[in-house]
């Protein structure tokens, strides 16, 4: 008996060991077939095959279900309220604008192309009047035609910030800077179309009258917030739960933070839409709370792409780079990740103290903390994202951060400390969001390198969900002695205005909701922004952008870490895939197709 | 006996009323404390809760509108009163020409997802309940069973093996065991899909999506229950009345099943009431790891987005569940242990 029992136990132990070994080996492998990265008709297109170029366009067929996975829901699917980059990208499935970003890869994707309008704007000589004519055959999901009044009403909703907060308000700032109009919900006129800056002489014509010229106005009209909304379908604050479609797809179902399904809008006509191809029959989005699980399911093939487009998590990235490189693209995101120095906190009111930090920082270590050159991005050397006209990338490197000083320059930092009257260094606090581990890692890297030059730094991890309330209030920043704030920013539209105006203009220093953390109030910079908005020539606009960037970078208000890059996943089922600068290096969602 | 049975129902009713009253008081206190934490503490810390709801181009008018709509500008006692009133009579939220009705029972309104909280809670509650129930059945069978066997076979290979497994179950964080099980059975061996499917859509799909979360969650709790059951059972087996029962010639199953188990179950039941009640409020880690759309996932999203009304709603549900579970446990004591019967 005893012998038999022992043998049984041994067998059980061996079996258990075998099972554990099998499990561990399969877990380590992560499953799936290896890709050679070469690309094939049935397989993935190859590493970077869709980065700034179109991959497998001819394999896209009509039909099928395109499956998105996401680790976070949009801030709102209401075209007026959404501000997340992926929401703007995704909203083109169910909303159209007068003009939109071109459905082209790379930099061409940031150019404006006609959508509901027959052509781009007819602009008056003084740059203050923009006229559009709507094309025939464009309809809502109930078959009624989309009129110029619907476009006007949709834009007017931006003024109702007390009900529809959250979205960009550029149109309000440009069309009605004094905020004389109170929004359609408080509009006393019978048709609720009382905004004087927009005229609709007939159902096909819309005229915008700007109080002052703004050369990026058409870029602003390409934003999702300029989408038409039909008055009788406007459910106000609840519109985002089921927007009324003007695009090729309409909402079938949506449960916030769980899932969403879009199906074909049968009233949409291909002939009326020069932009959208509408390949799949159905578009689904499933939201996950476990980003690792989501990445593994992307790799497993359960989903086609990540709606967030902010790159794979470290675990998923490692597996994907090793085994499925042909499914990956490594685009520049358009974001710059940086540290910014509020001038209200001493000694950062002194330019030399700011520069001491820039010279003292180990830029390579900061890049590593962000994920390295592939997953994190190239070392940031100035403050204009590479996708913005006028950007020089690493060619402009005033502090030699990517070359001679990439590991910091202690001697130069001490020289700057002496010049700022703090030869023995100083004490300060870094404010960093506690829900961004990568940002915390950069804060720690900066803390370590600054110690070498005598700058003693304390790290304060604040509640990331309260960012606006904590660092968006300059008085609070000063009270908490936040000398260094770790943040990042991407362009709302690819221009120096769409990127830098809220960050660098003295007019944008706000008591709450402030994004000009450095509190830059420089008349030269403000003057350059004024010149930029009046300038209609693209080459001259690029020159002014360059000048603004030089002023900001040389003022030492920022320590850029990286020109951010992502590693994004595309499934082997996807066709007609390309990244677009119009959407910060994301895949252009609206024309993704499936292979058959 | 006759007096006992006649007085029993009255005493039980009085006891029940007392307990329910205490539970109601407890809930009121919890609401007050939660209100203070969520609405007053940020104010003291200099953070405007309304600012968290608006976007990066925050307009002061928008912040003010949120403040008005959620009643954040009102004194705290007014906010609490409005909240209580909403539970029984519903509530109207209005700002800037937009009026939102929140029907009773109104547990608040999420300005972020533009939804009343109660439908969110009722939508997600079945998922959490299914997770907690399934896991509880598993851990009670496996955990208590393993604990009893270990106690009976004290020092044996079984006992040592079971306690090593139990120790690892207690020690390993649930997100680790969840990721390991997902890696092995879903991504690796591909034995199952591992994604949640609503029960109404497909029973087999639902079962397939729930098995791993059940097992993972039960592994943690079974380990704890096995250890506590073993320890209690060993203590009970050393009691005089067990020796007496054996001396009287009772069979071992009767001694263990009828006499020892009753005493052993008392602390197990106490633990179970607390654990099960807390799980009803959302097994946050398990639901997050397996992306189960339950209360835990809702509260996590709410924490990330600072969606205070959702956090408040789930907190109340959790509190209610713990209170109810404990009340049931207290009533069950009387069934298990004759010494605590009111009569």
Count of domains in chain A? 2
| Chain A residues with beta carbon closer than 8 angstroms to that of B46 | 473, 476, 479
The residue of chain B nearest to residue A29, with distances taken between CA atoms, is B188
Same domain, A216 and A341: no
Cα–chain center distance at A212: 28
Share of chain A above pLDDT 70, in %: 93
Helix orientation angle between B157-171 and B145-152, rounded to the nearest 10 degrees: 140
What's residue B339's pLDDT?
67
User: How high is the mean pLDDT of chain B?
Assistant: 84
What's residue A243's pLDDT?
97
| Number of residues in chain A | 596
Asked if residue A163 belongs to a domain, the reply is: yes
Asked if residue A276 belongs to a domain, the reply is: no
Q: Where are the beta strands (DSSP E) in B274-319?
A: none
What's residue A545's pLDDT?
97
| Chain B residues with beta carbon closer than 8 angstroms to that of A237 | 98, 100, 114
Residue A314's alpha-carbon distances to A11, A335, A379, in angstroms, are: 39, 19, 19
Tokens coding B221: 């709790």
pLDDT of residue B9 exceeding 90, the answer is: no
Give the residue carrying structure tokens 């709507």: A134
- The CATH number covering residue A470 comes to 3.10.105.10
Last residue of a domain, one of A238, A273, A299: A238
pLDDT band at A23 (very low <50, low <70, confident <90, very high): very low
Between CA A44 and CA A23 the distance in angstroms is 28
Q: Shortest CB distance from B51 goes to which of A30, A435, A468?
A: A468
| Chain A residues with beta carbon closer than 8 angstroms to that of B113 | 73, 256-257
Query: Are B95 and A163 within 8 A, CB to CB?
Result: yes
* Residue burial A529-567, b: 16+ Cβ < 10 Å; e: rest: beebbebeeeeebbbbbbbbbbbbbebbbbbbbbbbbbb
Q: Shortest CB distance from A237 goes to which of B100, B288, B290?
A: B100
A466 in contact with B, Cβ within 8 Å: yes
What's residue A166's pLDDT?
83
DSSP annotation of B90 reads: -
Tokens coding A277: 């191809």
Mean pLDDT of B193-222: 90
Q: Shortest CB distance from B291 goes to which of A256, A290, A479?
A: A290
* Residue among B171, B210, B192, B217 nearest B292 (CA): B210
pLDDT of residue A283 exceeding 50, the answer is: yes
- The CATH number covering residue A179 comes to 3.40.190.10
Mean pLDDT of B91-111: 86
Residue range B240-272, pLDDT digits in tens = 999 999 899 888 888 988 888 888 888 888 888
| Chain B residues with beta carbon closer than 8 angstroms to that of A163 | 65, 95-98
Q: Shortest CB distance from B56 goes to which of A83, A255, A435?
A: A83
What's residue A491's pLDDT?
92
What's residue B56's pLDDT?
62
pLDDT of residue B76 exceeding 70, the answer is: yes
Query: Are A466 and B289 within 8 A, CB to CB?
Result: no
Residue A138, beta-bridge partner list: none
Number of CB atoms found within 10 A of residue B116's CB: 24
What's residue B325's pLDDT?
84
pLDDT of residue A40 exceeding 80, the answer is: no
B102 phi/psi in degrees, rounded to 5: -120, 105
Mean pLDDT of A309-333: 92
Asked if residue A560 belongs to a domain, the reply is: yes
Asked if residue A126 belongs to a domain, the reply is: yes
What's residue B47's pLDDT?
67
Last residue of a domain, one of A238, A254, A275: A238
Mean pLDDT of A124-141: 96
Query: Are A26 and B184 within 8 A, CB to CB?
Result: yes
Q: Shortest CB distance from A23 goes to which of B48, B55, B184?
A: B184
Q: Shortest CB distance from B98 goes to which of A236, A510, A513?
A: A236
What's residue B52's pLDDT?
67
Whether B292 and B127 have beta carbons less than 8 Å apart is answered as yes
Between CA A368 and CA A441 the distance in angstroms is 9
pTM for the predicted model, two decimal places: 0.86
The residue of chain B nearest to residue A435, with distances taken between CA atoms, is B304
| Chain A residues with beta carbon closer than 8 angstroms to that of B102 | none
Q: Which domain holds residue A483?
A: 337-565
Residue range A365-390, pLDDT digits in tens = 999 999 999 999 999 999 999 989 99
What's residue B190's pLDDT?
84
Query: Are B58 and A513 within 8 A, CB to CB?
Result: yes
Between CA A334 and CA B284 the distance in angstroms is 34
Asked if residue A209 belongs to a domain, the reply is: yes
Residue range B150-177, pLDDT digits in tens = 998 888 888 888 888 888 888 888 888 9
- Between residues 311 and 350 of chain A, which touch chain B (CB distance below 8 Å)? none
* Residue burial A197-210, b: 16+ Cβ < 10 Å; e: rest: bbbbeeebebbbeb
Q: Dump the DSSP string for B222-257.
A: HHHHHHHHHHHHHHHHTSHHHHHHHHTT--HHHIII
Mean pLDDT of B87-98: 86
* Residue among A8, A167, A14, A11 nearest A78 (CA): A167
- Burial status of residue A129 (CB atoms within 10 A of its CB: 0-12, 13-18, 19 or more): middle
Asked if residue A348 belongs to a domain, the reply is: yes
Q: What number of CA atoms fall less than 13 Å from residue A581's CA on the CB side?
A: 16
| Chain B residues with beta carbon closer than 8 angstroms to that of A468 | 51-52, 54, 56, 58
Same domain, A480 and A368: yes
What's residue B44's pLDDT?
73
pLDDT of residue A246 exceeding 50, the answer is: yes
Residue range A158-215, pLDDT digits in tens = 999 888 888 888 999 999 999 999 999 999 999 999 999 999 999 999 999 999 999 9
What's residue A529's pLDDT?
96
Mean pLDDT of A442-465: 92
- Burial status of residue A181 (CB atoms within 10 A of its CB: 0-12, 13-18, 19 or more): buried
**Region for residue A567 given its phi and psi (left: phi exceeds 0; alpha: psi -120 to 50; beta: otherwise):** beta
Sign of CA dihedral B102, B103, B106, B110: negative
Number of CB atoms found within 10 A of residue A390's CB: 19
What's residue A8's pLDDT?
43
| Chain B residues with beta carbon closer than 8 angstroms to that of A83 | 55-57
What's residue A72's pLDDT?
87
Q: What is the ipTM of this complex?
A: 0.81
Q: Shortest CB distance from A185 goes to which of B47, B97, B183?
A: B97
What's residue B277's pLDDT?
82
pLDDT of residue B108 exceeding 50, the answer is: yes
pLDDT band at B297 (very low <50, low <70, confident <90, very high): confident
Query: Are A512 and B97 within 8 A, CB to CB?
Result: no
| Chain A residues with beta carbon closer than 8 angstroms to that of B112 | 75
Minimal CA separation from A469 to chain B, in Å: 5
Q: Dump the DSSP string for B177-226.
A: HHHHHIIIIIIIS---------TTT-HHHHHHHHHHHHHHHHHHHHHHHH
Cα–chain center distance at A379: 19
What's residue A506's pLDDT?
93
Asked if residue A15 belongs to a domain, the reply is: no
Same domain, A234 and A342: no
Mean pLDDT of A80-90: 94
Between CA A430 and CA A420 the distance in angstroms is 20
Mean pLDDT of A96-103: 98
Between CA A375 and CA A316 the distance in angstroms is 12
pLDDT of residue A37 exceeding 90, the answer is: no
Same domain, A232 and A349: no
pLDDT band at B340 (very low <50, low <70, confident <90, very high): low
Same domain, A441 and A559: yes
**Region for residue A454 given its phi and psi (left: phi exceeds 0; alpha: psi -120 to 50; beta: otherwise):** left
Query: Are B62 and A186 within 8 A, CB to CB?
Result: no
- Between residues 167 and 186 of chain A, which touch chain B (CB distance below 8 Å)? 167-169, 183, 185-186
Asked if residue A420 belongs to a domain, the reply is: yes
- Burial status of residue B155 (CB atoms within 10 A of its CB: 0-12, 13-18, 19 or more): exposed
What's residue A500's pLDDT?
95
Q: Shortest CB distance from A469 goes to which of B52, B59, B112?
A: B52
User: How high is the mean pLDDT of chain A?
Assistant: 91
Residue A379, beta-bridge partner list: A562
| Chain A residues with beta carbon closer than 8 angstroms to that of B190 | 31, 300
pLDDT of residue B337 exceeding 90, the answer is: no
Listed ranges A69-78, A223-232, A498-507, B225-234; the one with the highest mean pLDDT: A223-232
A2 in contact with B, Cβ within 8 Å: no
Tokens coding B167: 């120790």
A163 in contact with B, Cβ within 8 Å: yes
A69 in contact with B, Cβ within 8 Å: no
pLDDT of residue A42 exceeding 90, the answer is: no
pLDDT of residue B142 exceeding 80, the answer is: yes
């Amino acid at each position: 008996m005893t012998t038999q029992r022992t043998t049984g136990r041994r067998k059980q132990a061996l079996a258990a060991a075998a099972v554990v070994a099998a499990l561990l080996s399969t877990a380590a492998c992560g499953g799936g077939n290896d890709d050679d990265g070469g690309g094939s008709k049935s397989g993935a297109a190859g590493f970077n095959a869709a980065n700034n170029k179109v991959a497998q366009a001819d394999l896209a067929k009509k039909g099928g279900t395109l499956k998105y996975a996401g680790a976070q829901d949009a801030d709102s699917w209401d075209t007026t309220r959404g501000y997340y980059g992926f929401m703007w990208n995704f909203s083109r499935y169910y909303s159209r604008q007068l003009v939109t970003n071109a459905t082209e890869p790379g930099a061409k994707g940031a150019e404006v192309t006609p959508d509901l309008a027959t052509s781009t704007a007819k602009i008056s000589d003084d740059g203050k009047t923009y006229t559009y004519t709507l094309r025939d055959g464009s309809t809502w999901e109930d078959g009624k035609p989309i009129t110029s009044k619907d476009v006007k009403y949709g834009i007017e909703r931006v003024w109702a910030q007390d009900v529809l907060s959250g979205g960009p308000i550029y149109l309000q700032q440009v069309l009605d800077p004094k905020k004389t109009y109170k929004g359609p919900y408080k509009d006393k006129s019978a048709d609720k179309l009382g905004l004087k800056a927009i005229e609709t002489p007939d159902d096909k014509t819309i005229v915008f009258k700007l109080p002052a010229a703004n050369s990026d106005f058409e870029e602003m009209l390409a934003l999702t917030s300029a989408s038409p909304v039909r008055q009788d379908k406007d459910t106000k604050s609840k519109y985002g739960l089921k927007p009324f479609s003007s695009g090729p797809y309409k909402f079938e179902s949506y449960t916030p933070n769980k899932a969403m399904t879009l199906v074909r809008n049968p009233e949409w006509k291909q002939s009326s839409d020069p932009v959208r191809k509408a390949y799949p029959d159905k578009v689904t989005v499933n939201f996950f709370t476990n980003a690792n699980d989501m990445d593994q399911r992307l790799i497993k093939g359960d989903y086609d792409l990540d709606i967030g487009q902010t790159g794979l998590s470290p675990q998923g990235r490692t597996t994907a780079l090793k085994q499925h490189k042909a499914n990956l693209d490594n685009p520049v995101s358009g974001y710059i990740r940086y540290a910014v120095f509020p001038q209200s906190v001493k000694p950062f009111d002194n330019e030399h103290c700011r520069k001491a930090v820039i010279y003292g920082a180990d830029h390579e270590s900061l890049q590593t903390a962000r994920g390295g050159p592939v997953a994190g991005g190239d070392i940031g050397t100035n403050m204009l994202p590479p996708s913005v006209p006028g950007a020089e990338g690493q060619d402009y490197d005033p502090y030699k951060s990517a070359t001679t000083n990439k590991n910091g320059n202690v001697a130069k930092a001490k020289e700057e400390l002496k010049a700022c009257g703090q030869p023995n260094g100083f004490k300060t606090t870094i404010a960093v969001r506690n829900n961004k581990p990568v940002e915390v890692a950069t804060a720690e890297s900066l803390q370590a390198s600054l110690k070498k030059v005598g700058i003693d730094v304390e790290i304060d991890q604040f509640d990331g969900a309260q960012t606006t309330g904590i660092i968006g209030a300059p008085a609070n920043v000063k009270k908490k002695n936040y000398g260094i704030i770790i943040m990042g920013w991407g362009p709302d539209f690819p221009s120096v205005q769409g990127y830098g105006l809220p960050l660098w203009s003295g007019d944008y220093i706000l008591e709450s909701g402030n994004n000009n953390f450095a509190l830059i109030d420089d008349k030269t910079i403000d003057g350059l922004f004024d010149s930029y908005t009046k300038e209609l020539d693209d080459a001259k606009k690029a020159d002014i952008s360059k000048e603004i960037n030089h002023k900001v970078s040389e003022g030492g208000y920022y320590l850029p870490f990286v020109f951010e890059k992502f590693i994004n996943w595309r499934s082997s089922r996807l066709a007609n895939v390309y990244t677009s600068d119009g959407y910060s290096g994301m895949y252009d969602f609206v024309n993704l197709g499936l292979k058959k | 006996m006759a007096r006992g049975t006649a007085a029993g129902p009255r005493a039980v009713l009085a006891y029940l009323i007392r307990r329910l009253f205490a539970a109601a008081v407890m809930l009121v206190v919890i609401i007050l404390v939660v209100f203070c934490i969520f609405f007053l503490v940020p104010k003291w810390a200099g953070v405007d809760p309304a600012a968290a709801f608006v976007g990066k181009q925050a307009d002061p008018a928008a912040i003010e509108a949120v403040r008005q709509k959620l009643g954040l500008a009102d004194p705290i006692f007014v906010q609490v009163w409005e909240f209580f009133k909403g539970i029984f009579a519903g509530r109207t939220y209005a700002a800037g020409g937009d009026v939102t009705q929140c029907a009773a029972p109104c547990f608040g309104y999420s300005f972020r997802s533009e939804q009343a909280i109660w439908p969110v809670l009722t939508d997600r509650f079945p998922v959490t309940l299914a997770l907690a129930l399934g896991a509880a059945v598993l851990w009670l069978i496996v955990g208590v069973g393993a604990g009893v066997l270990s106690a009976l076979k004290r020092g044996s290979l079984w006992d040592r093996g079971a306690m090593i497994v139990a120790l690892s179950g207690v020690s390993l964080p649930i997100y680790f065991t969840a990721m390991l099980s997902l890696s092995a059975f879903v991504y690796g061996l591909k034995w199952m899909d591992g994604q949640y499917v609503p029960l109404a859509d497909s029973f087999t799909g639902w079962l397939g999506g729930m098995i791993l979360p059940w097992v993972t969650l039960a592994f943690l709790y079974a380990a704890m229950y096995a250890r506590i059951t073993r320890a209690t059972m060993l203590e009970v087996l050393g009691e005089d009345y067990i020796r007496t029962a054996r001396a009287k010639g009772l069979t071992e199953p009767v001694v263990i099943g009828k006499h020892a188990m009753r005493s052993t179950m008392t602390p197990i039941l106490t633990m179970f009431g607390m654990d099960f009640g807390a799980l009803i409020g959302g097994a946050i880690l398990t639901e997050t790891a397996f992306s189960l759309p339950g209360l835990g996932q809702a509260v996590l999203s709410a924490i990330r987005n600072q969606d205070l009304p959702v956090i408040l709603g789930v907190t109340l549900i959790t509190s209610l569940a713990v209170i109810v579970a404990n009340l049931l446990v207290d009533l069950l004591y009387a069934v298990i242990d004759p010494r605590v019967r009111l009569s």
